Amino acid sequence: MTLHAIRPAEFPWFPYDGFTFCLGLAAGKAAWTSGHTSAAFDKSIGKMTVSGSMEQQARTAYQKVLTILEGAGLGPQDVTRVTENVTVAGLGDYAAAAGVRREVFGGHEPTVSTIVVERLVRSTAFLEVELHAVDGGGRQLRVASEPREAGVWAASPVREGHDGAVYLPTVVPIDANGDVVHPGDFVGQYAYCLDKADELLRAAGLSIDAAVTTYDYSTPETRTVYRKAHNVRKERLGGAGVYPGSGGILMSRLHHPESLVAIDVTASRHPLELVNPGWSRYDTLTYAPGIKAGRTLYMSGFAALDMETQQVLHPGNLEAQAEATYGAILHLLDHAGLGPQDLLATTEYCVESALPEYRVVAPVRERLLSPPWPASTGAICKGLLRPEFMIEVFPTALYPDEA
């Protein structure tokens, strides 16, 4: 059972060959789509365009990703996790996208991850949708709460998907009344989110010790205090002997105007195994470069960092930073006995100031990656934890059956 690109019989929105990402990947009875907006190729002007309201865009985006799933023999009832990247500009109309989602899935409830992003590559896009699916829809471990639930942005169950992956909804520092907890206190909000994630996992028969990734989203103002999250993480994570992968992305605002952080947590039912090619910088950190759980290799976010000196590489040069970033990912894959063909997914966050240059990343991917090309999602952030970073990539890989 190896990864192969999903090629729907019909995909009328744009010709999808020739990119360094696929529409989606499948392996056995599981599938992962790339992130898709409502973008479609307009022959009259010869380029991709996005238009319409949030509701209209959501309908098209969901139609696209479900068409891709259909190409893998799966449908909405098989979806285990939905990731919705909603722009700061579109956040006020997000309820319309949520309504479309409920209509699309009917009685089936996947886990919902809601990421607030600065904007998307297509400037008029409000929403980007990505799906994970497995035949039968995985296993619901915890039902969604009908009223607003403290610590959770969208009403969502906790669901187990492919290879023992356990998906949580995005965890936010917002109480059941819709008010922010610990206003103005980044560390307090971070601790609240991790504690809420642990509570959700315990209700599903696990704990935060099973976390394989904790990707956090904060604001540029938190850079000065971000290091203080180290002790919060050290007190709560790594109980299984392995810290999870992590990444930190900055947006100008999050789900609530007073929110300083939101965290996406994924856990696994499998034992966790550290994967580190010898990068000593991780010895004192509260996250790991890679974690093998079952057949899946979960990884931290990577940027253009010298692993020995911990200095930022190639400031101001997005192409060189992308090459260094993907070079580090490939180094870790090689250490794990894998190659670029085993790369399951990449999520790229490009800083807003570098967006005019973002096209230079595709040739780098073409040189370093290979078919069937990973399922990929790209979003624009306000900044990254090091001001000199221009791009950060969250990767995931899948070991072949024989591994």
Collect all residues with Cβ–Cβ distance below 8 Å to 72 and sequence separation of at least 6. Answer: 6, 24, 26, 31, 133
In a domain, 100, yes or no: yes
In a domain, 13, yes or no: yes
C-alpha 51/C-alpha 49 separation (Å) is 7
Alpha helices (runs of H) in 341-384, residue ranges in sequence order: 361-368
Q: What tokens does 46 get? A: 């010869």
Residue with tokens 């296993």: 139
Q: Which SS3 state, helix, strand or coil, does residue 124 take? A: coil
**What are the DSSP E strand ranges found in 43-137?**
47-49, 79-87, 111-117, 127-134
Query: Can you state the angle between helices 54-71 and 94-105, rounded to 10 degrees?
Result: 30
Q: Quick one: pLDDT at residue 149?
A: 87
| Contact in structure between 166 and 211 (CB atoms under 8 Å) | no
Q: Quick one: pLDDT at residue 234?
A: 98
The angle formed by the CA atoms of residues 216, 165 and 111, to the nearest 5 degrees, is 65
| Contact in structure between 75 and 66 (CB atoms under 8 Å) | yes
In a domain, 340, yes or no: no
Q: Quick one: pLDDT at residue 402?
A: 62
CATH number assigned to the domain comprising residue 25: 3.30.1330.40
Q: What is the pLDDT along the chain (403 residues), one digit of tens a residue?
A: 689 999 999 999 998 888 888 999 999 999 999 999 999 988 889 888 999 999 999 999 999 999 999 999 999 999 999 999 999 999 999 999 999 999 999 999 999 999 999 999 999 999 999 999 999 999 999 998 766 789 998 889 999 999 999 999 999 999 999 999 999 999 999 999 999 999 999 999 999 999 999 999 999 999 999 999 999 999 999 999 999 999 999 999 999 999 999 999 999 999 999 999 999 999 999 999 999 999 999 999 999 999 999 999 999 999 999 999 999 999 999 999 999 999 999 999 999 999 999 999 999 999 999 999 999 999 999 999 999 999 999 999 999 986 4
| Tally of structural domains, the chain | 1
Q: Quick one: pLDDT at residue 147?
A: 66
In a domain, 187, yes or no: no
In a domain, 163, yes or no: no
> What's the distance, CA 387 to chain centroid?
21
What is the C-alpha radius of gyration for the chain, rounded to an integer number of angstroms?
19
User: 126 is in which domain, residue-wise?
Assistant: 1-137
| Contact in structure between 274 and 336 (CB atoms under 8 Å) | no
In a domain, 27, yes or no: yes
Collect all residues with Cβ–Cβ distance below 8 Å to 111 and sequence separation of at least 6. Answer: 80, 81, 82, 156, 157, 158, 159, 167, 168, 169
**Residue positions counted in the chain:** 403
Q: What tokens does 194 get? A: 């991790």
Residue with tokens 């190639």: 314
In a domain, 4, yes or no: yes
| Contact in structure between 154 and 98 (CB atoms under 8 Å) | yes
* CA within 13 Å, CB half, 332: 27
Q: Which SS3 state, helix, strand or coil, does residue 90 take? A: coil
Q: Which helix (H) or strand (E) holds 198?
A: helix 186-203
134 to 29, 72, 192, 266, 401: CA distances (angstroms): 6, 10, 31, 16, 17
Q: What is the pTM of this model?
A: 0.96
Q: Quick one: pLDDT at residue 148?
A: 72
Q: Quick one: pLDDT at residue 333?
A: 99
In a domain, 386, yes or no: no
